[in-house]
Structure 1
Amino acid sequence: MLEVDTDTTLWSVLSLTDDASYIVGNSGTTIRHDGTDYEVLESGVDNNLYDVSSSQSGVVWAVGNRGATLRLRSGF
């Protein structure tokens, strides 16, 4: 179980490895977990983000309301 210290509603978790998880939620919330620590990342949007997934090539995508589609680069 992941426990994140936030009051924001979180909608989706993508765990790629034991030390690479990504979490998205309301108001553009994007969080990276490295297996030990959480880092809140700047998404650049205030849309609610409802899902996060990755392609076979390892590109991570987050999508949300009002057509929000984010390609997450290294670091996120």
Structure 2
Amino acid sequence: MSELQQLKQTLNSIAQSTKQIAGELGSFERKFQSQSNRVSQAIGGSAQRKDREVLEALSKATRDAKQAEAALQNAARVASQYGASL
């Protein structure tokens, strides 16, 4: 098998794995968001510093998970397109 064929296979494998991981991360993010919403509702409008810290940490984790999912989807797309162009 030529190096070019090996590169194409490797890129295709990366793209497939990355898409799968992005999907799993998206599923996790949705579950995490739901659980975070329940915590937020339970805490309510509490003015305690620790309560705000928890809510801010959960919110940041949700945003970071969404960004990671988008980055993985982009990486899969780029790898797939590059492999197809070879």
* Range of TM-score over shorter length: under 0.3
> TM-score, length-normalised on structure 2?
0.18
Q: TM-score, normalised by structure 1?
A: 0.20
Greater strand share, structure number: 1
The structure whose Rg is larger is 2
Structure with bigger helix share is 2
